[in-house]
Amino acid sequence: MKDSTLISKGKNVLTLIAVNLAIAFICLESLSLAFYLINQKQFFYTRTKTQEKVVEDLERIGIRLNESIVERLHPFFGYVLKQGAFTNEKLKLKVNRHGFFSLYEYPLIKTHKNQLIVGVFGGSVANNFAVDEYVNQRLSKKLKTYPEFANQEIIVLNFGNGGYKQPQQLLILNYFLALGQELDLVINIDGFNEVALSNLNNKARVEVGMPSVQHLQPLTGLANNNLSPETMSSIVQISTNKKQLKEAIDKLQTCQLALCHAVTSLQVRQLVNSYQQAVVKYDRQVKNSHNSDTANSGIVYIPKADFVLKDAAAFEKMASMWYESSVMMNQVLSSRKIPYFHFIQPNQYYPTKREFTAKEKEIAISKDSPYIEGVKQGYPVLFSKIDDLQKARVNVFNGVNILDNTKETVYKDACCHYNSVGEDILANYISSSIIQVLRKNERS
């Protein structure tokens, strides 16, 4: 009797545990379903595929899952993207043979008179702006609301890449004009890289006019076989983060339960944070390990500075180069009667009246960012050149405040990039600025 009573009690306890576990699971699954519905605006069990969007979002902030180094050294531009990378079969979007993420091969020749070819130049923000146009047509839709563009087929060509800074835009413009590229309007979106990345060049004793040391150093280091063990270790860590991230994203696609998706989404978020921290660590090592004794011992030559410039002199040099490059772009284009529009991009590390959302404070502001010093000290020096640019007949626009009036989240990473809301504000600002100048010119 005792044994049967114990067995009976044991069964009751197990049943109670099982019931409680089932209730707990149902509650967690219900919470996960609600969380997914609120964030994704769709029911989890009937959801559309999410992997492509997640990967696209990561690539836009510079996390490339399939390859560790997708840049390739270029004899004129410093570096470009590997041809064929990031192919989107649905949109027919890929890195073209010249190394730019685009729908088109260059030079693109018009097939009818109503086509208006717009060239977009700059760094990753310019690249994202052009790629967003390929996906959402924000700029062309906004321009077409004005009678001047209503009947035109607007074609945007992307000449931007992550890390590009003047005089790369100037060199790229002249190169493609020499190849016969037709352009009806040119947009240059820059400012951040010119001070944030050039500042890193200066600290690494690389000429500030050279392409970003952050991007060149891994390529030249591999070519010259002189990467430090610490830098190689960081590259391995970044590669490991990417592998783990890819595995987590693949798991997201196969999750059958909302709870699985919620837990894996948190894992993806943690891995993204780890990746960004590894990149910050790598940036510091690039700055510290780029010494004069080994930097030019290989087959790739990068001009070295004799010493690190003091901040005042360094930022004045950066701003002067930025000014001269924009003036020369305008002169070349004006001689061909092609309107040129220069926009200084907003950035979270330059203080404005913007009040950051709770999400932005979490994902978009990093106290360890290597860019803070360059932006805070460099942006005011760029602004000091705006009057001179206007006197040189450059259509220059200071866009640092354009995100101040929205209470929504606009930044999507701790560098400089904008989400869909931010992209829409930028496209609206650029299109309205363009039409304002064109109408003013018509009246004069």
C-alpha–C-alpha distance, residues 247 and 235, integer Å: 19
C-alpha–C-alpha distance, residues 374 and 395, integer Å: 25
**Mean pLDDT in residue range 185-214:** 95
96-120 pLDDT tens trace: 999 999 999 999 999 999 999 999 9
**Sorting pLDDT into bands at 50, 70 and 90, what band is 69?**
low
121-157 pLDDT tens trace: 999 999 999 999 999 999 999 999 999 899 999 999 9
**Mean pLDDT in residue range 169-193:** 98
Q: Provide the token pair at 319.
A: 């701003």
Identity (one letter) of the amino acid at 382?
L
Identity (one letter) of the amino acid at 144?
K
DSSP 137: -
DSSP 306: S
Tally of CA atoms within 13 A in the half-sphere of 434 that contains its CB: 25
pLDDT of amino acid 269: 75
Residue 3 has pLDDT above 70, yes or no: no
Q: Report yes or no: 92 and 99 within 8 Å, Cβ to Cβ.
A: no
C-alpha–C-alpha distance, residues 337 and 328, integer Å: 14
pLDDT of amino acid 207: 94
Closest CA to 382 of 326, 340, 298, 434: 326
Q: Report yes or no: 417 and 411 within 8 Å, Cβ to Cβ.
A: yes
**Sorting pLDDT into bands at 50, 70 and 90, what band is 90?**
confident
C-alpha–C-alpha distance, residues 131 and 136, integer Å: 9
Residue 325 has pLDDT above 90, yes or no: yes
DSSP of 121-135: EESHHHHHHHHHHHH
Residue 8 has pLDDT above 70, yes or no: no
What is the chain's length?
Answer: 444
Phi, psi of 439 (to 5 degrees): -70, -35
**Sorting pLDDT into bands at 50, 70 and 90, what band is 70?**
confident
C-alpha–C-alpha distance, residues 222 and 226, integer Å: 7
3-state secondary structure of 396: strand
pLDDT of amino acid 319: 98
Which secondary structure element, helix H or strand E, spans residue 279, and what is its range?
helix 258-289
Pick the more confident residue, 14 or 182: 182
Reduced 3-state DSSP string for 73-116? EECCCEEEECCCCCCECCCCEEECCCCCEECCCCCCCCCCCCEE
pLDDT of amino acid 335: 97
C-alpha–C-alpha distance, residues 240 and 195, integer Å: 31
pLDDT of amino acid 7: 63
Q: Report yes or no: 36 and 262 within 8 Å, Cβ to Cβ.
A: yes
**Sorting pLDDT into bands at 50, 70 and 90, what band is 173?**
very high
Residue 164 has pLDDT above 80, yes or no: yes
DSSP of 206-238: B-TTSSPHHHHHHHHHHHHT---HHHHHHHHHH
Residue 293 has pLDDT above 50, yes or no: no
Phi, psi of 100 (to 5 degrees): -120, 140
Q: Provide the token pair at 396.
A: 């220059």
pTM: 0.76
Strand partners, 115: 153
Residue 399 has pLDDT above 90, yes or no: yes
For helices 213-224 and 258-289, give the axis angle rounded to 10 degrees.
70
Tally of CA atoms within 13 A in the half-sphere of 60 that contains its CB: 23
Pick the more confident residue, 333 or 61: 333
Residue 313 has pLDDT above 80, yes or no: yes
